[in-house]
């Protein structure tokens, strides 16, 4: 059997690949099914809000059972069943499949991060080298989904089913980690939430990710509104993730040289001009080229946020802490980004990225407080 770091890399690649096939195209898919306006915005907000509740629950289950691999399998199966239901149920019941899929996805991210960190002895730099394969999986899936839709008129969600099925099989080969000594979870969990630095970190992470959620959720519609081919959105997303892969691959050296705090702030600072220029740009080469900065505004942000949260969490709450980070980023931050779709009707899609820049400025101020809190 391959060594643990190889299996972890495959798990990361296959765990994040369905995200690339599903979520960049979800708003466009729902609109093609006749879901539009405030209903579409409401659905895009409900999905991340589901993660706020369920992400920490999956993480706490993994800490309680002290078995990340077991919880990861349950989360993977839940997500696959939800995606199948979304594609097979009548439109009036599709929300059931959508929520079930999100319920499973809410656990995959934090538990997979916790499993990786524990297997690597808590080394955040080594975590980045494994996490980059998740970005590779996402990158390939985004590109393949765009091509399959453009050339064969096949829904990206069907590719998501295939990738989710392969991931379910791969979870059977997840490495088993040495569990930490048993300790009461609730008192430590309350103490962790009572830590001012942890609270500011989670709020800063949520605000930093909200503009990225605007990009993830609505960028394909923005490209359509600019009169460009849908495949160009896939090219832009792929370019950003390709740079992200490089940043994550070098994360051990970057963290050692600059430290997690500086990296956390630098990613926030760079995000502001990215969103301002995206709102202003209309030339295809500029719209696409700007998204290369995603590799730093998200890649450097994510590895530094994981490192900072892991540093402040007790050893026996690794999964719970990553669940809280996942809820802040993929829950609260993503919900803020999804709700921003309400400005499209009255102001157009470019206004989304003006709003993103404003949120990014607020996020930078909170991240400054977070890095100085003790």
Domains and CATH numbers, the chain: 4-174+186-372 (1.20.1250.20)
Q: Determine the pLDDT at residue 14.
A: 96
Question: What are the respective helix, strand and coil percentages of the chain, to the nearest 5?
Answer: 85, 0, 15
Q: Determine the pLDDT at residue 374.
A: 62
Q: What SS3 class is residue 75?
A: helix
Report how far apart the first and last C-alpha atoms of the chain are (Å, whole number): 44
Q: Determine the pLDDT at residue 178.
A: 73
Other CB atoms within 10 Å distance of the CB of residue 242: 16
What is the rounded CA–CA span in Å between residue 290 and residue 135?
A: 18
Q: Determine the pLDDT at residue 183.
A: 62
Q: Determine the pLDDT at residue 99.
A: 87
Question: Are 50 and 103 spatial neighbours (Cβ–Cβ below 8 Å)?
Answer: yes
Q: Is the C-alpha dihedral spanning 47, 53, 57, 60 positive or negative?
A: positive
- Residue 330 is encoded by which pair of tokens? 């993929």
Task: List b or e across 184-208, with b for residues whose CB sees 16 or more CB atoms inside 10 angstroms.
Answer: eeeebbeebeeeebbbbbbbbbbbb
Residue ranges of the chain whose pLDDT lies below 50: none
Number of helices (H), then strands (E), in the chain: 18, 0
Q: Determine the pLDDT at residue 184.
A: 64
Task: List b or e across 251-277, with b for residues whose CB sees 16 or more CB atoms inside 10 angstroms.
Answer: bbebbeeeebbebbbbbbeebbebbbb
Q: Determine the pLDDT at residue 274.
A: 96
Q: Determine the pLDDT at residue 4.
A: 76
Q: Residue 210: which residues within 8 A CB-CB, separation 6 or more?
A: 332, 333, 334, 336, 337, 340, 356, 359, 363
Q: Determine the pLDDT at residue 210.
A: 95
What is the rounded CA–CA span in Å between residue 21 and residue 240?
A: 16
Q: Determine the pLDDT at residue 31.
A: 74
What is the rounded CA–CA span in Å between residue 363 and residue 9?
A: 31
């Amino acid at each position: 059997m391959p060594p643990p770091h190889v299996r972890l890399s495959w798990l990361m690649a296959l765990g994040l690949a369905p995200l690339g096939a599903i979520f960049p195209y979800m708003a466009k898919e729902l609109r093609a099914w006749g879901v539009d306006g405030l209903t579409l915005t409401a659905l895009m907000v409900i999905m991340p809000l589901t993660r706020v509740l369920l992400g920490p629950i999956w993480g706490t289950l993994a800490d309680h059972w002290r078995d990340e691999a077991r919880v990861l399998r349950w989360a993977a199966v839940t997500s696959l069943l939800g995606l199948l239901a979304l594609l097979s149920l009548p439109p009036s019941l599709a929300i059931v499949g959508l929520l079930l899929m999100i319920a499973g996805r809410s656990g995959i991210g934090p538990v997979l991060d916790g499993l990786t960190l524990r297997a690597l002895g808590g080394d955040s730099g080594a975590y980045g080298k494994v996490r980059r394969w998740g970005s590779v999986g996402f990158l390939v899936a985004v590109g393949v989904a765009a091509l399959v839709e453009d050339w064969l008129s096949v829904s990206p969600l069907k590719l998501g089913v295939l990738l989710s099925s392969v991931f379910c099989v791969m979870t059977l080969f997840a490495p088993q980690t040495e569990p930490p000594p048993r300790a009461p979870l609730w008192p430590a969990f309350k103490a962790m939430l009572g830590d001012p630095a942890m609270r500011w970190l989670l709020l800063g992470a949520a605000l930093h990710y909200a503009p990225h959620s605007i990009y993830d959720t609505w960028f394909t519609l923005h490209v359509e509104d600019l009169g460009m081919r849908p495949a160009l959105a896939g090219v832009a997303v792929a370019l950003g993730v390709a740079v992200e892969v490089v940043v994550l691959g070098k994360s051990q050296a970057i963290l050692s040289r600059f430290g997690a705090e500086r990296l956390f702030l630098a990613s926030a600072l760079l995000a502001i001009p990215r969103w301002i220029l995206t709102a202003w740009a209309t030339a295809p080469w500029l719209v696409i080229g700007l998204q290369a900065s995603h590799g730093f505004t998200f890649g450097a942000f994510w590895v530094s946020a994981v490192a900072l949260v892991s540093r402040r969490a007790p050893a026996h709450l690794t999964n719970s802490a990553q669940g809280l980070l996942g809820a802040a980023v993929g829950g609260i931050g993503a919900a803020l980004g999804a709700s921003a779709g309400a400005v499209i009707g009255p102001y157009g899609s470019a206004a989304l990225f003006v709003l993103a820049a404003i949120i990014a400025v607020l996020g930078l101020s909170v991240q400054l407080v977070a890095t100085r809190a003790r």
